[in-house]
């Protein structure tokens, strides 16, 4: 892995020590759960507005959280943090599973706001928030990932899939948002590539907000 010193410093500052995080959670899980749920509920009216206008909907975040918790996945990657709504749900799932979330954002202001949200919710020990270009970082980060949530630039959806599908752990799943509201031709190309890959069981879930979350899970 060839992360630059700056990126590593950002990751260290935002993620804290894994061991510290695990100790903090052990025996205090209920308190953390109450704190995160209260924060998500308090912020609920804010998502989708102003600086938070790009965040996924509450019900979709909750569905991703429940999926990750139910599978017990520990190694989570998100591409496209924005201000951190989905990362709060996924980071909370990582905390419950004694795992970690790595999340990537290219915009410094959104990244900074996400860090504030992670700290306020008490989830910063479970989240490595990287500031950088995911086009490069998804190649540099080694994996394997048990769960990937793809929610960044739509024109790169097919490239992200091609770069990341080989880094999924056995039985791991790759999720991508907004596939029913394609904002770039590459989204449809990505959907076709995932559906036609025999190594994956792929479906589109539109029960939440209607944005459409594709879920492609390794068969082996």
Ligand X SMILES: C[S@@+](CC[C@H](N)C(=O)[O-])C[C@H]1O[C@@H](n2cnc3c(N)ncnc32)[C@H](O)[C@@H]1O
Binding site for ligand X (CB under 6 A): 54-56, 80-82, 84-86, 104-107, 110, 133-135, 151-153
Output the smallest distance, CB 184 to ligand X, in A.
12
User: What does the alpha-carbon distance between residue 204 and residue 63 come to, in Å, rounded to a whole number?
Assistant: 13
Comparison of 55 and 102: residue with beta carbon closer to ligand X: 55
Comparison of 95 and 213: residue with beta carbon closer to ligand X: 213
SS3 category, 198 = coil
Residues 6+ apart with CB under 8 A from 220: 170, 171, 199
Output the smallest distance, CB 169 to ligand X, in A.
21
Output the smallest distance, CB 205 to ligand X, in A.
15
DSSP β-bridge partners for residue 149: 78, 175
User: What does the alpha-carbon distance between residue 110 and residue 86 come to, in Å, rounded to a whole number?
Assistant: 13
Comparison of 8 and 17: residue with beta carbon closer to ligand X: 8
Comparison of 56 and 194: residue with beta carbon closer to ligand X: 56
User: What does the alpha-carbon distance between residue 75 and residue 114 come to, in Å, rounded to a whole number?
Assistant: 20
Comparison of 96 and 110: residue with beta carbon closer to ligand X: 110
Output the smallest distance, CB 110 to ligand X, in A.
5
Comparison of 110 and 165: residue with beta carbon closer to ligand X: 110
DSSP β-bridge partners for residue 203: 215
User: What does the alpha-carbon distance between residue 162 and residue 173 come to, in Å, rounded to a whole number?
Assistant: 14
Output the smallest distance, CB 54 to ligand X, in A.
4
User: What does the alpha-carbon distance between residue 211 and residue 214 come to, in Å, rounded to a whole number?
Assistant: 10
User: What does the alpha-carbon distance between residue 124 and residue 21 come to, in Å, rounded to a whole number?
Assistant: 8
DSSP β-bridge partners for residue 142: none
Q: Among the residues of 2-151, which ranges form H helices?
A: 5-15, 18-25, 29-43, 58-71, 85-96, 108-121, 134-140
Output the smallest distance, CB 57 to ligand X, in A.
8
């Amino acid at each position: 892995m060839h992360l630059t010193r700056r990126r590593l410093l950002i990751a260290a500052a935002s993620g804290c020590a894994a061991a510290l995080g695990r100790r903090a959670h052990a025996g205090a899980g209920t308190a953390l759960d109450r704190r995160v749920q209260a924060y998500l509920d308090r912020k609920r009216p804010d998502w989708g507005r102003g600086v938070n206008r790009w965040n996924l909907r509450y019900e979709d975040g909750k569905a991703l959280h429940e999926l990750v918790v139910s599978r017990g996945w520990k190694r989570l990657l998100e591409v496209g943090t924005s201000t951190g709504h989905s990362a709060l749900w996924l980071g909370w799932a990582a905390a419950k599973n004694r795992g970690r979330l790595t999340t990537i954002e290219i915009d410094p202001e959104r990244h900074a706001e996400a860090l504030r949200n992670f700290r306020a919710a008490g989830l910063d020990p479970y989240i490595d928030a990287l500031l950088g270009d995911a086009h490069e970082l998804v190649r540099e980060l080694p994996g394997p990932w048990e769960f990937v949530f793809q929610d960044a630039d739509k024109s790169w959806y097919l490239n992200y899939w091609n770069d990341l599908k080989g880094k999924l752990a056995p039985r791991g799943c790759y999720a991508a948002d907004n596939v029913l509201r394609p904002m770039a031709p590459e989204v449809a190309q990505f959907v076709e590539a995932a559906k036609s890959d025999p190594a994956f069981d792929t479906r589109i879930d539109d029960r939440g907000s209607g944005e459409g979350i594709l879920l492609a899970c390794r068969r082996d």
